[in-house]
Amino acid sequence: MAEHEMLDEWIEQEGPMTEVVVSSRARLARNLKGVPFSPRANESQRQFVAQRVRQAFEQHDELAGYHQLDLASLPADERVRLRESHLISREMEKGGVGRVVLLGPRMDTSVMVNEEDHLRMSVLVSGFRVEEAHRRILAMEEKLEQSLPFAYSEKFGYLTACPTNTGTGLRLSVMLHLPALVMTEQIERTMSPLGSFGLVVRGAYGEHSEHTGDLFQISNEVTLGKTEQQIMEILNEVVRQVIDRELAARQALREQARIKLEDIVCRAVGLLSSARMIDSNEATALLSRARLGVGQSWCSIPLDHARLSRLFIEVQPAHLQFREETQSPEERDLVRAEMLRAMFGEN
């Protein structure tokens, strides 16, 4: 518990955290007893699962504010937008019978129904707050467990479609912004040993996404044979080390290549405040560079770390499509540039 308290104290130092950590997330995988896992279930079994989960939400006053979205009938662009917001997976984006997502009123909690598992609950919080995400996901699970009989084995723990999730069913992850480790070519060296701690590194948008915007997601890989406390401690400890390395790399750049760094940051801000067309990849890359200049006096950046983190999501195609009902990628490039100019102070 001493470990836990120390960490909490460290979180209070909000500066270094939001500088590097975009968000923390907790996810729990659960399945209903007596029903085949979703990939092997037939349509009526999947619809049965969806029905049961919906009812469970309706039975709890505290879960009443949730939106129910039927992915089988939801337009494709809406599904993409949910994926861009990290609220559903690429697999769920495809839609399909019985696939439902329940979204918390503040859009930071979600339950995917009939993805790989019957239920995948998720809580997303800004900054480095793994404990808080964990606490909230357990509270949600507790409520749902009152109405839903989860498949559980004394020997293995919670049963899941994929063996890597069996046991606690818990996946904790942290999204990190690591531009200095990328710039100084230390990212490989930093990330490659993480596998030996049972951790896995992905891009901002899951397993096959590239590290656009210098965003990296670190999460635990296996939940079987470990307690939730162990998973959390390992992740927190490793992420803390990665944060320290990133901060050290930024410090070194500021000391040893200050003008070069300032040039990179300010050129990015210059382009964000002047471009008339910009695609999501370029926007993300420029936002990443601009984020390195927050809190420095190099050039005017009228946004804080948290706002810039949100912008990584808001510049994605479906978000822009929703924002302005744009029709084509070209139109979105205009709307994106306009939005960014307004944020960065039009040139």
Instruction: State the residues that interact with a copy of itself by CB under 8 A.
Output: 259-260, 262-263, 266-267, 269-271, 273-277, 298-300, 334, 337, 346-347
Angle at 57 between CA 49 and CA 310, to 5 degrees: 100
Helices (H), the chain: 2-12, 14-20, 43-59, 76-84, 90-93, 130-145, 179-183, 187-191, 228-256, 258-272, 280-291, 305-314, 317-324, 329-344
- Of residues 168 and 288, the one with the C-beta less far from a copy of itself: 288
- Of residues 206 and 302, the one with the C-beta less far from a copy of itself: 302
Minimum CB separation of residue 330 from a copy of itself in Å reads 9
- Of residues 121 and 290, the one with the C-beta less far from a copy of itself: 290
Q: Supply 242's token pair.
A: 């990665």
Minimum CB separation of residue 211 from a copy of itself in Å reads 25
- Of residues 52 and 267, the one with the C-beta less far from a copy of itself: 267
41: three-class secondary structure by DSSP: coil
Minimum CB separation of residue 276 from a copy of itself in Å reads 4
| Ramachandran angles phi, psi of 278, nearest 5° | -155, 130
Minimum CB separation of residue 284 from a copy of itself in Å reads 17
Minimum CB separation of residue 281 from a copy of itself in Å reads 16
- Of residues 233 and 331, the one with the C-beta less far from a copy of itself: 331
The residue to which tokens 């410090």 are assigned: 251
The closest of 83, 81, 27, 23 to 216, measured between CA atoms, is 23
Minimum CB separation of residue 272 from a copy of itself in Å reads 8
| Ramachandran angles phi, psi of 150, nearest 5° | -80, 140
- 256-275 in b/e burial notation, b at 16+ Cβ within 10 A? eeeeebbebbbebbebbbeb
Q: How many angstroms separate the Cα of 43 from the Cα of each of 29, 47, 186?
A: 20, 6, 48
Minimum CB separation of residue 329 from a copy of itself in Å reads 14
- Of residues 234 and 277, the one with the C-beta less far from a copy of itself: 277
Minimum CB separation of residue 7 from a copy of itself in Å reads 38
- Of residues 28 and 265, the one with the C-beta less far from a copy of itself: 265
Half-sphere exposure of 275 (CA within 13 A, CB side): 23
Minimum CB separation of residue 295 from a copy of itself in Å reads 17
* Cα separation, 334 vs 292, whole angstroms: 25
Q: Supply 296's token pair.
A: 């420095």
Q: Supply 219's token pair.
A: 């999460």
Residues in contact with 312: Cβ distance below 8 Å, sequence separation at least 6, in sequence order: 22, 204, 213, 215, 284, 287, 288
Angle between helix 130-145 and 2-12 (nearest 10): 120
Q: What is the dihedral of CA 137, 138, 139, 144, to 10 degrees?
A: 90
